[in-house]
């Protein structure tokens, strides 16, 4: 950003090139806290103004941290492969609002046909496995062993 | 003969039934082998509980209070530092869950006899205000309170004649003098950046409290024997709940969650005798909020340093009980800042969190100075008061400590809760202009005077 000096103009950004991604928190967060992955160049003021001006979300507090991406994995040429760093923002909503990250993959209701097909498939797999293993009464001894 | 052959088959070494003497078994003088108990050094839960029991016995058997405090805070591990003056949102709810405190709005209904009558100009508003603007105070206690207060106000005055009436005008003039001296008459330079509170409200508060305490000490012998501390230090260390260690060589172990409060009130009055209890030890006035999340989500951060328990003076000091604390809010937590950021509801949260945390630390440290700790719970409640202010707005708090047992094992059967009574912040004056204090609020002054005059029944 251009340096601000006393008497200078207020910096206004009309079409920001930032993107914020709301993520599901890895550890349980309080009800009023939303977790975002934001661009590394965004500041807490940027995040607050972005949410308030563009999305009309009342923001009470913002805390940020930078997550270091590990550099331990190696590719086929034994070079280290780095996972990218990213900034995480924890935004506490104002006016008593709460947010719960939605369940993006709910279990769909199956109709009778799919359920019966699934049951048939499970039973068939079980029978195949039993055939592979052999008689349990022999205690793991192969069937070619004997008199 | 068959029996002879049976005996030979059994062999010569065998003892047969007829040889043993049926009768009372001889009791052994002392057990031949030591009792079979779990090991001390093994990596097992039984061994851990045995080590904890040995530690508890060591603390119980300590000869002096200093030794007990030394053993209590001997093991240093990373702990959460709890700051009473914090900008964290909704901090008072979290602090109430850490300290097992119930917040009751309004002041506790005090006995009418504890209030000395006020000068005629303020008599009627005083009697009407006798049960205090306590919203939640039970109606049954309020009605006898109001009926008693006029009666008590009239009878001791003419009958005893020993307690002269408080001249509210004189006290008001004292307060206005201190305020004008600090803000109008004294020629001060502009305050440095973010040092507004040290410039005017700080010295005003010191002056106010010292003059009021001096003028009321004739009426309250406890104040005459008290000790006024300037910028003292109050620390307390405690365990509450359990967590699993996440990183490091101790990963996977179940540890107690450790907290430490390090507080610096602006002023503090310590007295040699304890204030009387407000409600009985086992009373239940509300619910403690239960928060499932880790304290680090508040946000609260961990640090490892000395586990200190301190009330403002060492153990040998005769003034070992607390009377009143006075807290000054820093520039970071100004009202204007909250209003600018549209967080008006957090203004009161700041006062409440300061009152609850500071008073819990003070009363719990006082209890530890008397030898109580989480395994040896308090047998009598410890009561202290606090005034939290930012120079213009005053909020009053009264805290009763009923239990110190907050660790994971001791809290299981603990039904007691600590209680904090607190008011909202009210302005003492509206504005200071041209050598006049406009809009002086007598209620706030009266509440302050009642706080300072609070004393045990015997005195």
> Three-state DSSP class for A61?
strand
Percent of residues, chain B, with pLDDT higher than 70: 82
Whether B378 and B401 have beta carbons less than 8 Å apart is answered as yes
Cβ <8 Å between B299 and A63? yes
Q: How many CB pairs under 8 A join A and B?
A: 21
At residue B76, the pLDDT reads 95
Q: Which of residues 349-388 of B touch A (CB under 8 A)?
A: none
Name the pLDDT band for B23 (thresholds 50, 70, 90): low
Residue B29, pLDDT score: 72
Q: Is residue A29 part of a domain?
A: yes
pLDDT at B421 over 70: yes
Handedness of CA B41, B45, B51, B54 (dihedral sign): negative
Where is pLDDT greater, at A142 or B14?
Answer: A142
Of A33, A58, A60, the CB nearest to B297: A33
Mean pLDDT of B88-103: 95
Question: Which of A88, A94, A96 has the most B C-beta neighbours within 10 Å, making it the best mutation to test the interface with B?
Answer: A94
Cα of B294 to nearest chain A Cα, Å: 9
| Within a domain: A8 | no
CATH at residue A66: 3.30.70.330
Asked if residue A37 is part of any domain, the answer here is yes
Are B292 and A29 inside 8 Å of each other by CB?
no
Question: Chain A: residue nearest B345 by CA?
Answer: A95
Q: Is there a domain that residue A118 lies in?
A: no
**B26 pLDDT tier (thresholds 50, 70, 90):** low
Residues paired with A90 in a beta bridge: A35, A63
Q: Of A66, A105, A88, A85, nearest to A20 (Cα)? A: A88
Q: Average per-residue pLDDT in chain B?
A: 84
Convert the pLDDT of each residue in A96-118 to its tens digit. Answer: 999 999 999 998 888 889 999 99
Question: What percent of chain B lies above the pLDDT cut of 90?
Answer: 71
Please report residues of A whose CB lies closer than 8 A to that of B294. Answer: 27
Paired sense of beta strands B101-105 and B418-422, if any? parallel
In A, minimum Cα distance to B339 occurs at A60
Mean pLDDT, residues B96-106 taken together: 94
* pLDDT band of B150, cuts 50, 70, 90: very low
| Structural domain count of chain A | 1
A-chain residues near B333 (CB < 8 A): none
Q: Which pLDDT score, from 0 to 100, does residue B132 have?
A: 36
pLDDT at B21: 55
- Asked if pLDDT for residue B125 goes beyond 60, the answer is no
For the ranges B32-41, B63-72, B91-100, B136-145, the lowest mean pLDDT is seen at B136-145
- Partner A contacted by B294 (CB < 8 A): yes
Q: Give pLDDT tens digits for B435-446.
A: 888 889 999 999
- What does the pLDDT read at residue B108? 85
Nearest residue in B to A93, CA atom: B89
Q: Which domain holds residue A28?
A: 20-93
pLDDT of res. B289: 94
* Predicted model pTM: 0.82
> How much is the pLDDT for B163?
57
Q: Which residue of B has its CA nearest to A33?
A: B297
Better-scored residue on pLDDT, B432 or B258: B258
| pLDDT of residue B119 exceeding 60 | no
**Mean pLDDT across the stretch B191-217?**
92
Q: Give residue A134's pLDDT.
A: 82
What is the rounded distance in angstroms from the CA atom of residue B291 to the CA atom of residue B304?
A: 24
- What pLDDT does residue B112 have? 37
What is the mean pLDDT of the segment spanning B205-224?
92
Residue B127 banded pLDDT, cuts 50, 70, 90: very low
pLDDT at B5: 55
pLDDT at B94 over 60: yes
Question: CA of B240 to nearest chain A CA: how many angstroms apart?
Answer: 19
Contacts of B244 in chain A (CB under 8 A): none
Whether residue B40 lies within 8 A of chain A, CB to CB, comes out as no
A25 close to B (CB below 8 A): no
How many Å separate Cα B339 from the centre of its chain? 30
Contacts of B91 in chain A (CB under 8 A): none
- Checking if the pLDDT of B159 tops 50, the result is no
Q: What is the ipTM of this complex?
A: 0.81
Instruction: Note whether residue A98 is domain-resident.
Output: no
Residue-level pLDDT at B154: 38
Residue B131 has pLDDT above 50, yes or no: no
In chain B, positions 71-90, which contact chain A (CB-CB < 8 Å)? 88-89
């Amino acid at each position: 950003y251009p340096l601000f000096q006393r008497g200078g103009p207020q910096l206004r950004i009309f079409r920001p090139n930032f993107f914020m991604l709301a993520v599901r928190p890895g550890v349980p967060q309080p009800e009023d806290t939303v977790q975002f992955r934001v661009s590394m160049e965004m500041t807490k003021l940027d995040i607050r103004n972005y949410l308030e001006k563009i999305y009309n979300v009342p923001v009470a507090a913002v805390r940020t941290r930078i997550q270091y991406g590990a550099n331990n994995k190696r590719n086929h040429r034994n070079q280290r492969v780095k996972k990218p760093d990213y900034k995480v923002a924890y935004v506490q909503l104002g006016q008593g609002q709460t947010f719960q990250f939605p369940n993006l993959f709910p279990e769909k209701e199956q109709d009778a046909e799919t359920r019966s097909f699934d049951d048939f498939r499970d039973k068939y797999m079980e029978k195949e496995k039993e055939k592979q293993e052999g008689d349990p009464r022999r205690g793991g001894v192969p069937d070619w062993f004997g008199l | 003969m068959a029996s002879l052959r049976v005996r030979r088959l059994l062999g010569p070494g065998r003892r047969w039934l007829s040889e043993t003497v049926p009768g009372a078994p001889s009791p052994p003088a002392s057990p031949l082998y030591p009792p079979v108990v779990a090991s001390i050094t093994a990596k097992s839960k039984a061994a851990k509980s045995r080590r904890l029991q040995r530690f508890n016995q060591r603390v119980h058997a300590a000869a002096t209070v200093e030794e007990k405090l030394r053993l209590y805070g001997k093991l240093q591990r990373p702990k959460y530092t709890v700051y009473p003056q914090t900008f964290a949102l909704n901090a008072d709810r979290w602090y109430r869950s850490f300290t097992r405190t119930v917040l009751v709005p309004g002041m506790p209904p005090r006995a009418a006899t504890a209030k000395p009558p006020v000068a005629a100009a303020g008599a009627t508003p005083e009697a009407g205000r006798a049960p205090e603007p306590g919203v939640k105070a039970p109606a049954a206690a309020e009605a006898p309170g109001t009926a008693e207060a006029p009666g008590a106000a009239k009878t001791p005055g003419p009958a005893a004649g020993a307690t002269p009436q408080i001249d509210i005008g004189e006290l008001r003039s004292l307060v206005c003098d201190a305020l004008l001296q600090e803000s109008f008459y004294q020629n001060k330079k502009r305050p440095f950046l973010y040092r507004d509170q040290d410039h005017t409200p700080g010295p005003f508060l010191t002056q106010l409290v010292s003059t009021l305490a001096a003028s009321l000490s004739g009426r309250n012998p406890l104040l005459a024997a008290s000790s006024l501390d300037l910028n003292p230090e109050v620390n307390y260390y405690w365990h509450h709940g359990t967590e699993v260690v996440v990183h490091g060589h101790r990963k996977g172990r179940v540890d107690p969650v450790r907290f430490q409060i390090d507080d610096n009130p602006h002023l503090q009055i310590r007295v040699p005798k304890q204030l009387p209890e407000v409600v009985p030890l086992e009373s239940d006035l509300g619910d403690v909020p239960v928060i499932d999340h880790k304290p680090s989500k508040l946000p609260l951060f961990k640090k490892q340093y000395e586990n200190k328990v301190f009330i403002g003076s060492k153990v040998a000091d005769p003034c070992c009980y607390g009377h009143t604390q006075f807290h000054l809010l820093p520039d970071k937590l100004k009202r204007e800042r909250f209003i600018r950021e549209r967080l008006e509801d957090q203004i009161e949260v700041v006062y409440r969190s300061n009152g609850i945390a500071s008073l819990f630390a003070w009363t719990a440290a006082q209890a530890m100075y008397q030898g109580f700790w989480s395994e040896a719970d308090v047998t009598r409640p410890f009561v202290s008061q606090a005034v939290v202010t930012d120079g213009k707005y005053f909020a009053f708090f009264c805290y009763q400590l009923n239990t110190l047992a907050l660790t994971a094992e001791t809290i299981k059967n603990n039904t007691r809760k600590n209680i904090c009574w607190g008011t909202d912040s009210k302005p003492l004056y509206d504005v200071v202009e041209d050598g006049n204090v406009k809009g002086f609020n007598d209620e706030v002054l009266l509440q302050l005077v009642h706080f300072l005059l609070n004393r045990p029944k015997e005195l």
